[in-house]
Structures are given as structure tokens and as C-alpha cells.
Amino acid sequence: MSVAGGAVHLRAPAKINLALRILGRRADGYHELETLFQAVGLHDVLRLERTDAPGLELVVEGADVGPVHENLVWRAAQAFFAELGQPAQGVLLHLEKRIPAGAGLGGGSSDAAATLRGLQALFSTELPHPRLHAIGAALGSDVPFFLGSSGLALGTGRGEVLKELEPHEPRALVLGLPQVACGTAAMYGALARRRAEQGQGSAAAMQGGSSSAAQPRTLLPLTHPFDRAAADALACNDFEPVAMELHPSIAQALNGLREEHAVPALLSGSGSAVFGFAPTAADAERIATRLSAQVADVDFVATTTLARLPGPDITFRG
């Protein structure tokens, strides 16, 4: 695949967590977790274009996501060229942000994965998947999921150890997007304080971890077949009580979805976004319109789950 002088564009989809169990804190400060990642249709758009000027240029449109050099797109591109052992070549990266930041939807992580996929296509490099995975994991715990192919995967470790699952048929859902951002590290801290107050020390939090001599208990058992109903039976998010307490708009959004029977309805990641499933796309649209009018400070949008993660599209050849 050669696109010398050309451009590549990619959709960088958001994810939701159909289930998220947080286990114990590790020596490196991260938490062991078990999660079911599911890609959804809401996406950012990334365009990569080769330029004559050496070095990287990043333009972000659609949201204020902080300094360019801290953006995961920028960091992913730097890491990519470092892995190749060469200075960054001339690339213009244009990111159109549609996925809100601090929402638990993995927007920044998906952008980073799209950058790595896009650079591979743009420069016809063939870094093997384990190397891309390692670059992704160093950038963020959710990045490796977005480098995979199935839209549904079980994540363990700190989220970067993946088992891809047979994707389910696309399914309609409503995303609730409260106008508050939940910082991931801050939410882990809040969860730890809540567990300490409730007397759930590290032993309790380590359920399923390596504290006992017995085989680790899997909190998210994957039945065969692992169909929608089986996934729905596991629906849970350990951050949910903390997020609802900290931000009333999250509680209102979840209550709204449940009153509309958009179930299961859950928090995504460490928040602030929530989601609920609807029987059809038309139901999802109707619920999103109704709840957007009813729930203050929350936008609701209809989307669907994705069976597959999208790959790069070559938009022209030079």
C-alpha cells in the first residue's frame, strides 16, 4: 500500500464499557481491572497528509483539548517515528474532535490508535502488531483496544491485555453526554476513598486478584455463546456510584435513560458519559430527542455499536 505524497483519513470511534470492574491497585499505581470494551459510531475524524516541511504539525478543530504537544495524536506520532528510529517526517495531522474529552469514551486513546494506523498506511511501514500494541499501551491503557479489529473485546491487566470477542450485530443505543469532565486519575482516587470509607481495603478490592492462593476469580465470565443477553447480564460499572454522587447530572442522565427503558443503562469508563440500549434506531433517536429536552446540562445522541473497528482510508495518491 503506497500513498507517497498522499493523504489518509480515519474515523476514530468512541468506546463504551459494557462492564467495568476495578480490582486492586498495583505497585506501579495502576489498577487491575476487567472490562468489556464495545466500539460505537460516535467518532473523531483524523486526516494525515505528507508535507515537504520536515516535522509534525497538528491542527485540532471542534474542541479545546489543551496544548497541542500534550495531545495523544502528537505523542503517538512522536512515538511512532521513535520506534522507527528516525526523525519525524513532514506530516500534517488534522483532528476533528467530536467525542467529548473526560467522558470515559476513550476519545484521546482512539485518536492515538488512529494516528498509529494512519502513519503505518501513509509511510507503508509494517511495524508488527505487537510493536504497535506496545507503543499504544505506553500512551494509555485504552489505546490497544482501538488498534484491534473486533468492536468487542475483554480487557484485563490495566485494560491493555485484550481478548477479542466475536462481535455482536450492531445495536442501537443512546449516549448521554453531561457537560462535566471526569479526570480518570481523579475518579480512581475517589473510588479508592469510597472503598476505604466503606471498609473495603485492598483485600476486598483485590477480589479476583492474586492475593489468594486459589485461582483468580474471573468477575466477567464469558459464556458460550457470548451473545448480547450474556453481555447484558454482566452490565456493571464500579465507578457508577462515585460518579453519580460527584455529579448530579450523571445521575439524572442515567435515571432518564432507565425511565425510558433504554436498558441496560450504565456509566461509560470513569465517566462522565452514560449510555442505554434501545430496541431500534428510531427508538434511540426518539429517546435522545426527548431526554435532551428534559435533562438539563446533558446532550443525548443516538448511535449504534460497531462490529468492527474502522481501518484507514486512502483519500488520494500523490
Judged by CB under 6 A, the stretch of 25-33, 43-51, 203-211, 306-314 that binds ligand C5P is 25-33
Nearest CB to ligand C5P, comparing residues 172 and 206: 206
Q: How far is the CB of 231 from ligand C5P (least distance, A)?
A: 21
- Contacts with ligand C5P by CB under 6 A: the residue count is 11
Nearest CA to 294 out of 266, 268, 255 is that of 255
Whether the Cβ atoms of residue 44 and residue 111 lie closer than 8 Å to each other: yes
Nearest CA to 24 out of 211, 281, 163 is that of 211
Eight-state DSSP code of residue 305: B
Q: Is 195 exposed, middle or buried (0-12, 13-18, 19+ CB in 10 A)?
A: middle
Whether the Cβ atoms of residue 61 and residue 94 lie closer than 8 Å to each other: yes
Please, which residues bridge with residue 49 across strands?
A: 7, 92
Judged by CB under 6 A, the stretch of 81-89, 135-143, 211-219, 277-285 that binds ligand C5P is 135-143
**By CB under 6 A, residue 141 contacts ligand C5P:** yes
Q: How far is the CB of 186 from ligand C5P (least distance, A)?
A: 9
Among 33, 205, 250, 262, binds ligand C5P (CB under 6 A): 33
Eight-state DSSP code of residue 5: T
Nearest CB to ligand C5P, comparing residues 94 and 158: 158
Cell of 236: 456493571
Among 188, 239, 275, 277, binds ligand C5P (CB under 6 A): 188
Q: Which residues contact 268 (CB under 8 A, 6 or more apart)?
A: 15, 16, 17, 103, 104, 105, 175, 237, 274, 275
Does 163 participate in catalysis according to the annotation? no
Cell of 150: 473486533
Q: How far is the CB of 155 from ligand C5P (least distance, A)?
A: 9
Give the per-residue contact string, 39-68, with ligand C5P (x = CB under 6 A; - = no): ------------------------------
Q: How far apart are the first and last CA of the chain?
A: 13
Among 94, 158, 194, 195, binds ligand C5P (CB under 6 A): 158
Does 238 participate in catalysis according to the annotation? no
Query: So which residues are the catalytic ones?
Result: 15, 142
Return residues touching ligand C5P (CB under 6 A). Answer: 30-31, 33, 140-142, 158-159, 184-185, 188
